[in-house]
Structure 1
């Protein structure tokens, strides 16, 4: 069922904004801070053509993602309500970086020639958000890029596999490196170990990197061909094309490809295998092992990369086909890994990602908590870390199902630290605060909006300071991660509070949201100027949204959309109101307390128009029917 084309019902706010809420003032101040931040980054780090200031070359297949990641959430900021000129600035930088990558030999026809999807998924977030922000301008690219994976250059339809872990505009790209040995450094080997670790006996001396069979011909033959679980992130690219076009070909491909991986997981006891040979058989290139594939269970990141790719694949298929059966791929994986957990202080774990989790846990690093294994090899499960909550949270956000909420509640009960604690850290995903947000949504973390906004202010200011301190550096190739580390646009807090949605799954996901907003006057995505929004509940039967017009002189009109893609139906909306007369007479010395009222409106569609006269606020309680309509990037007036 497509969303109905009709004029949305109208709610007019009448509650006066006498004392502006602290969260609303902080939210608008953050939007202003981020606006100054992206302009500063563009001025100090980019050239007139939009590309990044970089004079070096790229010596491996790696690196293209690092040129896109500094911009990935800039169009997301525009979608939230960023400045009008941010959208053309984003397009300018996208084109500049694509030309830069083409000149450096990494791209052809505006798309990566061939690399793994742990990295391609990261860089393509920029394209996905641009497509959502300006569908008409990006539709041709969205479909052209997805079509790379519907044909035989990358995809074997008979065996339902993508034919190599490295793939792209050049088709299936054999091998994992253009050098005789994979360029793995000694520091990386010490942190993550080696692929194909079973090729050397446990007591064998470690050969030089250039002569190590685990990094040379064996790796090229065993890991450089056939499908890998990380390729499930291609589903985000294909779903992006579906959202902009509505073409059923893309939904059909998602059914076929994600469905094939789901059957492989079922045959493996619920845990998704990480490799499929060119013959379509799991383990055929790894002497029968279901683990050990490229960016899979053994090396280098395990559950961190496999879990995100699985979530991207299953959520994309469920969104496009409106069949939540694909989500069992994520459920079975989570339940299996959680079932292997132990309670142990993180400081005593064998984690390969100490820095990330120590920042996340802070003073609780010595507190016994649930740790789950991230990796598996011939020696069994190892590399114990806290579970990455973004994956089970994204699952529950999509379904609203009791079983998926129960999993989150059980994880919360099993941790030894307080989920309500907000720590002002940054991680690569521009996320990591799902736990205190969930506590807020459960009703027992009431100060979360102010705390997460304060953390976002602190992080943005820190990055601006780092941006300025490093602006004159001529970066060598090994230092190009600086750009994403000083990206001053921080959007996790805004996505949570304004949209009621988690930050996008970083390795190639699409945005989730209970509600989005459109400026009805300027006909563009995002809240109008001086409007703040807070989602305080995201249950289908009671999604609660407060809108505040901080301007005391100017009226605002916006459209509230149910879902990131207009996929939900607003069945009814109950709006707070107030009787007129709160100002009292001009001869009085104080205002009167507003007399509250409420009205319920039948909506029965994905959109609701909200009029916000100057200095007014309204709280809407929306009863939703989830996934009632075909998801689409269509805007309300189309």
Structure 2
């Protein structure tokens, strides 16, 4: 018998009746991908990890860099569990978080289970594994979530000034914000980094522009003095850490911190013509250590990644504050910053651009790399805008999925109109963020790419199988420090497409975001998050007031039951449901002497849901399917991590 979900409004339940005679290709491919992923993560674990959950790495770490790479190897494993992957993968993800944390403690990067002090471009990447564990199993991880957030909400830890609402250094963590940017006398440069990104503080006199970092004061004492103290834009990703604690504990102090800190950055953007600055000194003055420049901070507009990283940190902060308050005006600073950069766009071929991420841009453009396409400048310095690249759609898609507003959709439409590439094309590339397929997904959701589910699932299979081949080619018994990106590059767990198709949500923002979903699911029989066995889901429409979901039970013998939830955190109210069903018909399946029988014709039927609910129970008898058109109000309820079914963990 199915486990009873927590209280639902009377009648907030439906049963599928439409027979599955020819299973949809997308449904078969989706369930096959779940099966393949269950094999793939076990293979990765077997090759690269030991029985304690640690990665097989015999070396040391020579700089503060690298800790994030250990966690990133498993960043989306909890997400696969939340989607419907095996319970084993959640246990494995927890074991690897613990093993890697102990390993990094011995390597000197972590103290008290948290980074001693590093920038939040990298710490945000590290945090994704922990956030996923918290969402999947809040009872186990709430204490850690509280302790980590208090590193920033409690000024005694030396990271935060509550009077000025600023984080006190670009590198921060359990050792506070006074560690500076590096150990020793200068930043640990490599020549490849310098050749790719140039140097920060390039407006100061010195020798770096004429041949290298040795002896250049800008790369030692000047970096420490000007970039090592005070707040930077990447620290906005800390909002995700504190939001995580609020979701797990309900402590209002965490929500208050998020709104206060993000509110401070919002005011700075408003004072800078809508463009978020990247640096604030310890007195709260923008440009206070950079001779008045609003750009030039550590991991900011000038060096190394510009909007690529700042935009993600902004979005993490704004979406965290919006989720915590149901006040979407926090998103305005993200919109105005991006629109300012989009207005500078030029039509260039990839060969004509000065991109610092050429390999990523080439994969994104695919066969259209030689055609002129709209490119935007990711970076800004005294020499003006530069580092021209095709726009990443990570942030504008996150804004639209969150708000559903016409203006956020129109921004994407404008980007598409200016683009020289075909947004319907599904390319089988995969980067470490496991993203980049927002364009064809957007075209699908807006009715212009009907074959996307099948092509995207095929691309995911392609990615998975290539990663398994790479695991065979690079067994990694003795990974060297220079090659520690191997683990994340061959992680075979692919969740972007499954998140898009089943949840109606984009891939998580990689620099420390939380998952977004229009709907997600709980297995009522197994009493755990995710789709039940044999069940496939497809979200095909995400309008502001409704969502359309198809559910298919591919089993010909077993009944399945699930609870559909509005939003990642049950924050959306389900107001009304229309379902596609078939009325009882004696002609189906017909007399056993008959050679054939026409299935009954589906009809649309309204299902009462009372005054609006968070959850809807769906029963899927063997070999049935159902289409749900759900009218909803976005963010009508406070977000919660409470489960509508009893836990089986």
TM-score bracket, normalised by the shorter chain, equals over 0.9
TM-score normalised over the length of structure 2 = 0.96
The answer to whether 1:313 aligns with 2:300 is: no
- Conserved 8 A contact 1:540-1:623: no
More deviation in 192-201 or 13-22?
192-201
The answer to whether 1:631 aligns with 2:639 is: yes
Equivalent residue, structure 2, for 1:333: 337
Task: Determine helix, strand or coil for the equivalent of 1:574.
Answer: strand
The answer to whether 1:29 aligns with 2:32 is: yes
Equivalent residue, structure 2, for 1:199: 204
Q: CA deviation at 1:607?
A: 0.3
The answer to whether 1:146 aligns with 2:149 is: yes
Q: In the aligned structure 1, how far is the partner of 2:511 from the partner of 2:244?
A: 14
**Over residues 175-231 of structure 1, what are the superposed CA-to-partner deviations in whole Å (9 max), with x where a residue is unaligned?**
111121111111111111001111136x98635423122211111111111000000
CA root-mean-square deviation: 1.4
Equivalent residue, structure 1, for 2:613: 605
Equivalent residue, structure 1, for 2:544: 540
Aligned pair partner of 1:175 in 160, 177, 180? 180
The answer to whether 1:251 aligns with 2:251 is: no
- Conserved 8 A contact 2:48-2:477: no
Q: CA deviation at 1:567?
A: 0.3
Within-5 A mapping of 1:219-234: 219-234=223-238
Equivalent residue, structure 2, for 1:161: 166
Task: Determine helix, strand or coil for the equivalent of 1:471.
Answer: coil
Task: Determine helix, strand or coil for the equivalent of 1:191.
Answer: helix
Q: In the aligned structure 1, how far is the partner of 2:431 from the partner of 2:159?
A: 32
Within-5 A mapping of 1:456-475: 456-475=460-479
Aligned pair partner of 1:530 in 529, 534, 553? 534
* Structure 1 residues 205 and 68, CA gap change in structure 2 (3 angstroms): closer
The answer to whether 1:301 aligns with 2:309 is: no
Q: In the aligned structure 1, how far is the partner of 2:245 from the partner of 2:446?
A: 35
Equivalent residue, structure 1, for 2:56: 53
The answer to whether 1:622 aligns with 2:608 is: no
Q: In the aligned structure 2, how far is the partner of 1:67 from the partner of 1:349?
A: 33
Q: CA deviation at 1:637?
A: 3.5
Q: In the aligned structure 2, how far is the partner of 1:103 from the partner of 1:294?
A: 28
Equivalent residue, structure 1, for 2:455: 451
Q: CA deviation at 1:542?
A: 3.0
Q: CA deviation at 1:170?
A: 1.6
Task: Determine helix, strand or coil for the equivalent of 1:366.
Answer: coil
Equivalent residue, structure 2, for 1:584: 590
Q: CA deviation at 1:245?
A: 1.7
Equivalent residue, structure 1, for 2:93: 90
Q: In the aligned structure 2, how far is the partner of 1:116 from the partner of 1:72?
A: 18
TM-score normalised over the length of structure 1 = 0.98
Q: In the aligned structure 2, how far is the partner of 1:173 from the partner of 1:577?
A: 63
List gaps (5 residues or longer) in structure 2: none
Q: CA deviation at 1:473?
A: 3.8
Q: In the aligned structure 2, how far is the partner of 1:171 from the partner of 1:523?
A: 41
More deviation in 607-616 or 586-595?
586-595
Task: Determine helix, strand or coil for the equivalent of 1:347.
Answer: helix
- Conserved 8 A contact 1:91-1:130: yes
Equivalent residue, structure 1, for 2:427: 423
Q: In the aligned structure 1, how far is the partner of 2:541 from the partner of 2:377?
A: 32
Q: In the aligned structure 2, how far is the partner of 1:390 from the partner of 1:491?
A: 15
Q: In the aligned structure 2, how far is the partner of 1:355 from the partner of 1:173?
A: 36
Q: In the aligned structure 1, how far is the partner of 2:20 from the partner of 2:7?
A: 34
Q: CA deviation at 1:260?
A: 0.5
Within-5 A mapping of 1:324-403: 324-403=328-407
- Conserved 8 A contact 1:181-1:211: no
Equivalent residue, structure 2, for 1:261: 265
- Conserved 8 A contact 1:174-1:220: no
Equivalent residue, structure 2, for 1:188: 193
Q: In the aligned structure 2, how far is the partner of 1:4 from the partner of 1:213?
A: 63
Aligned pair partner of 2:286 in 260, 282, 285? 282
The answer to whether 1:501 aligns with 2:505 is: yes
Q: CA deviation at 1:594?
A: 2.3
Task: Determine helix, strand or coil for the equivalent of 1:149.
Answer: helix
Q: In the aligned structure 1, how far is the partner of 2:519 from the partner of 2:228?
A: 42
Q: In the aligned structure 1, how far is the partner of 2:7 from the partner of 2:527?
A: 16
- Conserved 8 A contact 1:38-1:489: yes
